Structure 1
Amino acid sequence: MKLGYHLGYWSSGPPPGALDAVLEAERLGFDSVWTAEAYGSDAFTPLAWWGAATSRITLGTNIVQMSARTPTATAMSAMTMDHLSGGRFVLGLGVSGPQVVEGWYGRPYPRPLARTREYVDIVRQVVARQEPVRLDGRFHQLPLRGGTGLGKALKSTVHPLRPRIPILLAAEGPKNVALAAEIGDGWLPLFFGPKSDGFYRAALEEGFGRRAEPVDRDGFEVAASVPVIVHDDVEEAAGFIKPTLALYIGGMGAKGANFHRDVFARMGYEAVTDTVQELYLAGRKDEAIAAIPTRLVEDTALIGPAAKIREELAAWKETVVTTLLLRGDAGTLRSVADVLG
């Protein structure tokens, strides 16, 4: 199982020590480094800025939000990054949720799977550069249907370094996970845990069965963001993670439309998620955090003494996950890498 470093998206500003951590990840032999975006910093710029100081490590987005850019604009950035990095770029895409898509980008959210299909199709066409890009889809038309009537199908002026840049899809629900296996080169899970492995294996197999071309299952990347905290006190370690879980379960999405909450409900924590969401949306955030049991944290994270983490890591190695994405500063990466071996 490979290790990757996930910088995430910024909060109020650039994360301190980010470049040092990226360089340390490469020095430690990490396979990849990833950036994200929500509704503040973008994913491409920090990856290019900090990635320019590296020479070996894979540079990925986890994730680029599809509603933020047209598919051709995303393909342009992907090809540019691939050239500048010498073929080290991988494109992680995701639909985000209705609050961000409609509230921040002003784009319609419905039918995310159909939109993803069209989006990936266009990105693939641009990068392959075999012929002018054309798609007469429901959500995207190239050339545009209607308008002035002067639109012309075009090919990128830039010749791609590689005719196929790997595309990984972020997904939490079974239909989206299956879509990642059907049209993508990998899957970017969030809140994955070994207890859910069978559920996700089935979804991936469904998608593999629908692929138009043969798939190398061994080459299909599954890069999971997994909190790892080496600490003598398990409860205290869990306490560092619970606020983030409360935010995602309770506040990252509207009631009845929170995909993060649904992940934990499927794991058997539906009553907990209902309580956390109710408390969080009522502004009682401290109570929402306190309502999260430590066992829920342990199902999706590696926390506690080094010996405990090493023992639990064996279960992770038996799952579909190929890369563990870690967070933290340079010192954290060193200590965790030492424990994970």
Structure 2
Amino acid sequence: MSVWGGGFWLSGKTREAALDAARELDELGYSRLWTSGGFGDGVPPIYGEVLAATPRLGVASGIVSIWHAEPADAAKTVDRFEREYPGRFVLGLGASHAPVVDAAESGRYTKPYSRMVEYLDALDATDTPVPAERLALAALGPRMLTLSAERTAGAHPYFVPAEHTAQAREILGDGPLLAPEVAVVLDEDEDAARGIAQEYMRGYLSLPNYSNNLLRLGYTEDDVAGAGSDRLREALIPSGKIERVVAGIERHYEAGADEVPIQVLTADQTTFPAEAYRKLAEALIGR
């Protein structure tokens, strides 16, 4: 079991707090920290700092955008981390989203699958090629999932229900890593938990890669409109008491996940939810 972390980990204002949190996650037995961003304007310092601050915790980029990161820079970073911290860093790559990429350069986002193949070829052609076992792809659809099995260690889907995990495992087959991110809300106040989940969902449902993936799974236009339906929220974001949250995470393991990076959602995303991760570790690690 691992952790998915966002802005808290990347903010320079919370650097020491982030490293303290990483040390605690390591001590609790979490296997890896997935965190976003990087290589467009240089490597985020947090990757190397977490590796240096912890004896065991793995680190993965979830994800580096193939539209912004130069393959040579990415390959050099992976090579350095592999020499300094063998086996502990995974370069997670993703095609991002048209609204995000085109906001900076209109029309740039075309043929994401072909672009990913070209990017992997470019990594292979660098002076320090990245081994497949040090790579993972942010994959949702069948073609990208197949590519992740053929060219990398496996797949890191994001914003997916357990039925997607089951389909992804069938496509990947036995062996490749399947590490779906799962967002959760640990809050016994159901109204508060619903509000936190809906605010999170609203942003992601506005991105067509995610909404289209959910439509492929059989959800309706009504399910993916606005902040999403209650049916979709219950499938995507285990919420409420610890027992319900744990059951929601375990559905992904039962569906074929090897590793579930857990993202704890709170009303204040700038503060590390340490108590929630302690409760989840006690409930899940070692099962």
TM-score (norm 1): 0.71
Q: How far off is 1:28 after superposition? A: 0.6
The answer to whether the 8 Å contact 2:3/2:32 transfers is yes
Query: Aligned partners of 2:166, 2:88: CA distance in 1, in Å?
Result: 31
Query: Aligned partners of 1:29, 1:242: CA distance in 2, in Å?
Result: 30
Letter in 2 for 1:178: T
Q: Equivalent residues in 2 for 1:206-285 (5 A)?
A: 217-218=174-175, 220-250=176-206, 252=207, 258-273=208-223, 275-276=225-226
- Aligned residues: CA RMSD: 2.9
3-state secondary structure, aligned to 2:54:
coil
Query: Aligned partners of 1:186, 1:232: CA distance in 2, in Å?
Result: 35
Unpaired runs of at least 5, structure 1: 127-154, 206-216, 253-257, 277-288
3-state secondary structure, aligned to 1:67:
coil
The answer to whether the 8 Å contact 1:89/1:165 transfers is no
3-state secondary structure, aligned to 1:227:
strand
Q: How far off is 1:9 after superposition? A: 4.2
Q: How far off is 1:202 after superposition? A: 4.1
Structure 2 counterpart of 1:285: none
Query: Aligned partners of 2:281, 2:118: CA distance in 1, in Å?
Result: 39
Identical counterparts, % of pairs: 25
Q: How far off is 1:174 after superposition? A: 2.4
Structure 2 counterpart of 1:92: 92
Q: Equivalent residues in 2 for 1:152-191 (5 A)?
A: 155-156=127-128, 165-191=133-159
Letter in 2 for 1:319: A
Q: How far off is 1:85 after superposition? A: 2.0
Query: Aligned partners of 2:131, 2:159: CA distance in 1, in Å?
Result: 32
Q: How far off is 1:112 after superposition? A: 1.4
Query: Aligned partners of 2:205, 2:132: CA distance in 1, in Å?
Result: 36
Structure 2 counterpart of 1:123: 123
The answer to whether the 8 Å contact 1:124/1:164 transfers is no
Q: How far off is 1:271 after superposition? A: 2.3
Query: Aligned partners of 1:58, 1:169: CA distance in 2, in Å?
Result: 17
Structure 2 counterpart of 1:283: none
Q: 1:294 to 1:15 in 2, by over 3 A?
A: farther
Q: How far off is 1:125 after superposition? A: 4.0
3-state secondary structure, aligned to 2:96:
coil
Aligned residues: 275
Query: Aligned partners of 2:199, 2:41: CA distance in 1, in Å?
Result: 21
Question: Any idea what the Cα deviations from partners look like across 1:145-178, whole Å, max 9, x if unmatched?
Answer: xxxxxxxxxx35xxx8x95552100022222222
Q: How far off is 1:320 after superposition? A: 2.3
Q: Which moved more, 1:26-35 or 1:261-270?
A: 261-270
- Which has the larger Rg? 1
The answer to whether the 8 Å contact 1:93/1:167 transfers is yes
The answer to whether the 8 Å contact 1:230/1:306 transfers is yes
Structure 1 counterpart of 2:267: none
Alignment match of 2:242 (pick from 306, 318, 321): 306
Structure 1 counterpart of 2:25: 25
Q: How far off is 1:93 after superposition? A: 0.4
3-state secondary structure, aligned to 1:68:
coil
Q: Does 1:324 find its partner at 2:274? A: no
Question: Any idea what the Cα deviations from partners look like across 1:182-226, whole Å, max 9, x if unmatched?
Answer: 222110101222233443334335xxxxxxxxxxx33x2111211
Query: Aligned partners of 1:303, 1:312: CA distance in 2, in Å?
Result: 8
The answer to whether the 8 Å contact 1:81/1:89 transfers is yes
The structure where helix makes up a greater share of residues is 2
3-state secondary structure, aligned to 1:268:
coil
Q: How far off is 1:234 after superposition? A: 3.8
Q: How far off is 1:124 after superposition? A: 3.1
Letter in 1 for 2:200: T
Q: Does 1:5 find its partner at 2:6? A: no
Query: Aligned partners of 2:172, 2:26: CA distance in 1, in Å?
Result: 30
Structure 2 counterpart of 1:336: 280
Unpaired runs of at least 5, structure 2: 265-271
Letter in 2 for 1:194: A
Letter in 2 for 1:308: R
Query: Aligned partners of 1:232, 1:41: CA distance in 2, in Å?
Result: 41
Q: 1:187 to 1:274 in 2, by over 3 A?
A: closer
Query: Aligned partners of 1:54, 1:295: CA distance in 2, in Å?
Result: 39
